[in-house]
């Protein structure tokens, strides 16, 4: 695709120069001109009100997709335990199903996983596409993508949601390729466009500096992965009969190329930040042996967990499992205490839904104060140990 300017129609309003993310449109003698940075992304086309910007590609016709029905959620389970992101996806799935007037379904693959059906119903699934086979006992890319793509092709869902977990991030692109559809990864918001019924898939873009809302109007199912901890799992009354649609799996040895001999859970990896009620988080302001010690002491006094920002992980001061934010975990504790954290958008992406946020920072202009319920302006090396000592004293008084 190429972009051309009709100089007669251009009013020099600068809407296109502002909309272009690549700086490819400039004003020369009061008229827009395209330079060699243009990637033909089309951002300028939508903002130009005078039809001065022309592309040499005809607009694609959007198919009707009347036969595409249903909001589907892939059930991630390991050894028969359903990953909590599946329940969160069923939560947003209930909302999307109500907005589209379609049914919510789950896709469950595994071996000896009948017991998962009750949970899926409890969290809102009306139908479960269910496939059991010894070759599906452990997740494998080839077998899972083969069976799910067959089920999708035969039943034509409108929307397919997958958790943005390591398994989901492996499965979703394989499925998208097999099904020849688009995929929006790492969404943080999903909604239905009331004008045309398409799925609005919102995710951070350009390093988290903007939120991009993406649609897939030309293909079905509309596929998105969603990060764990972002959506809310919602139990339903479930006063209906769950419709279980059993599918037979035909797997060849090529479909299960990996033999899983043993599963060993890595010790100490799961810090449990996603379920912590209180989190005390260390930022670069606390990036010293002393600062980190103070943060751990406050977390211990409050019975909470320690989290951190990315620079502390990059400096090797704390492990990745403690990082909160766009490239870390999304947490929603009752109390989040940010110690020496500036409040970059990438960090806020992981903690701004906390119930109460307390920020301790020596810079009164730190953006973290913008999302904090309480702000403490001061040196964390004084505030944090004082805070911890006060909590400990109070706990001791209560015990007496």
Ligand X SMILES: Cc1cc2nc3c(=O)[nH]c(=O)nc-3n(C[C@H](O)[C@H](O)[C@H](O)COP(=O)(O)OP(=O)(O)OC[C@H]3O[C@@H](n4cnc5c(N)ncnc54)[C@H](O)[C@@H]3O)c2cc1C
The helix (run of H) or strand (run of E) holding residue 368 is helix 368-371
- Please give the residue whose beta carbon sits closest to ligand X in the complex: 325
State the Cα–Cα distance between residues 186 and 277, nearest whole angstrom.
25
Q: Quick one: 44 or 344, whose CB is closer to ligand X?
A: 344
What does 65-82 look like in DSSP terms, one character per residue? Answer: -TT---EEEE--EETTEE
Does residue 91 belong to the site contacting ligand X (CB under 6 A)? no
Q: How far is the CB of 84 from ligand X (least distance, A)?
A: 20
Q: Quick one: 131 or 357, whose CB is closer to ligand X?
A: 357
Q: Interface mask (CB under 6 A) for ligand X, residues 317-356, using x and -?
A: ------x-xxxx-----------xxx-x-xx--x------
Figure out which of the listed residues 94, 184, 198, 361 binds ligand X, where binding follows CB under 6 A. 361
State the Cα–Cα distance between residues 337 and 358, nearest whole angstrom.
5
Does residue 228 belong to the site contacting ligand X (CB under 6 A)? no
Q: Quick one: 265 or 365, whose CB is closer to ligand X?
A: 365
Does residue 221 belong to the site contacting ligand X (CB under 6 A)? no
Using CB under 6 A, which of the segments 84-92, 127-135, 234-242, 374-382 binds ligand X? 374-382
What does 228-285 look like in DSSP terms, one character per residue? Answer: TTSS--------S--EEEEE-----GGG---------PPTT----GGG-SEEEEE-GG
Q: How far is the CB of 385 from ligand X (least distance, A)?
A: 12
Q: Quick one: 161 or 366, whose CB is closer to ligand X?
A: 366
Q: How far is the CB of 64 from ligand X (least distance, A)?
A: 38
Q: Interface mask (CB under 6 A) for ligand X, residues 175-214, using x and -?
A: --------------------------------xx------
Q: Quick one: 135 or 325, whose CB is closer to ligand X?
A: 325
Q: What is the CA radius of gyration of the chain?
A: 25
Q: Quick one: 283 or 375, whose CB is closer to ligand X?
A: 283
Q: And the tokens for 328?
A: 């870390």
Figure out which of the listed residues 175, 230, 357, 380 binds ligand X, where binding follows CB under 6 A. 380
Which residue in 209, 206, 207, 211 sits closest to 230, CA to CA? 211
Q: How far is the CB of 221 from ligand X (least distance, A)?
A: 28
Strand partners, 178: none
- Give the number of residues in contact with ligand X, rule: CB under 6 A: 28
Figure out which of the listed residues 109, 366, 371, 388 binds ligand X, where binding follows CB under 6 A. 366
Q: And the tokens for 35?
A: 């330079």
Q: How far is the CB of 361 from ligand X (least distance, A)?
A: 4
State the Cα–Cα distance between residues 1 and 185, nearest whole angstrom.
25
3-class DSSP assignment, residue 176: helix
184: CB partners within 8 A, 6+ apart: 201, 203, 214, 216, 223, 224, 225
State the Cα–Cα distance between residues 160 and 222, nearest whole angstrom.
6
Q: Quick one: 301 or 349, whose CB is closer to ligand X?
A: 349
Q: Give the count of alpha carbons within 13 A of 79, CB side only.
A: 5
180: CB partners within 8 A, 6+ apart: 219
Does residue 121 belong to the site contacting ligand X (CB under 6 A)? no
364: CB partners within 8 A, 6+ apart: 377
Q: How far is the CB of 365 from ligand X (least distance, A)?
A: 9
Q: Quick one: 198 or 342, whose CB is closer to ligand X?
A: 342
Which residue shows structure tokens 């269910």? 130
State the Cα–Cα distance between residues 131 and 194, nearest whole angstrom.
34
Q: Interface mask (CB under 6 A) for ligand X, residues 295-324, using x and -?
A: --------------xxx-----------x-
Q: How far is the CB of 304 from ligand X (least distance, A)?
A: 18
Residues contributing to the site for ligand X (CB under 6 A): 207-208, 283-285, 309-311, 323, 325-328, 340-342, 344, 346-347, 350, 360-363, 366, 379-381
């Amino acid at each position: 695709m190429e972009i051309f300017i009709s100089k007669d129609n251009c009013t020099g309003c600068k809407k296109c120069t502002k909309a272009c993310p690549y700086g490819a449109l400039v004003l020369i003698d009061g008229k827009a001109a395209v330079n060699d940075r243009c990637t033909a992304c089309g951002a300028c086309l939508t903002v130009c009100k005078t039809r001065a910007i022309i592309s040499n590609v005809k607009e694609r016709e959007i198919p009707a997709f009347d036969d595409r029905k249903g909001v589907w959620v892939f059930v991630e389970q390991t050894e028969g335990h359903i990953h909590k992101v599946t329940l969160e996806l069923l939560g947003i799935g209930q909302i999307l199903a109500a907005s589209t007037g379609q049914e919510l379904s789950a896709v469950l693959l595994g071996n000896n996983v009948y017991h998962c059906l009750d949970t899926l119903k409890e969290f809102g699934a009306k139908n479960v596409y269910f496939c059991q086979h010894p070759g599906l006992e452990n997740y494998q890319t080839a077998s899972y993508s083969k069976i799910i793509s067959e089920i999708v092709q035969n039943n034509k869902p409108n929307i397919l949601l997958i958790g943005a977990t390591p398994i989901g991030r492996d499965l979703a692109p394989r499925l998208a390729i097999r099904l020849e559809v688009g995929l929006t990864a790492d969404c943080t918001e999903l909604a239905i466009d009331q004008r045309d019924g398409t799925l609005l898939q919102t995710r951070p873009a350009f390093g988290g500096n903007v939120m991009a809302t993406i649609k897939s109007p030309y293909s079905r199912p509309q596929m998105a992965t969603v990060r764990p901890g972002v959506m809310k799992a919602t139990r339903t009354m479930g006063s209906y009969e769950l419709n279980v649609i059993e599918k037979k799996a035909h797997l060849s040895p090529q479909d299960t190329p990996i033999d899983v001999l043993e599963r060993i859970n890595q010790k100490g990896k799961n810090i449990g930040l996603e379920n912590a009620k209180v989190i005390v988080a260390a930022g670069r302001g606390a990036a010293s042996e002393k600062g980190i010690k103070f943060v751990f002491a406050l977390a211990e006094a409050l019975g909470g967990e320690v989290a951190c920002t990315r620079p502390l992980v990059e400096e090797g001061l704390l492990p990745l499992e403690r990082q909160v934010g766009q490239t870390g975990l999304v947490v929603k504790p009752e109390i989040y205490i940010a110690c020496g954290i500036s409040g970059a958008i990438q960090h806020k992406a992981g903690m701004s839904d906390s119930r109460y946020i307390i920020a301790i920072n020596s810079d009164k202009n730190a953006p973290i104060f913008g999302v904090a319920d309480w702000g403490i302006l001061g040196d964390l090396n004084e505030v944090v140990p004082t805070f911890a000592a006060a909590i400990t004293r109070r706990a001791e008084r209560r015990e007496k």
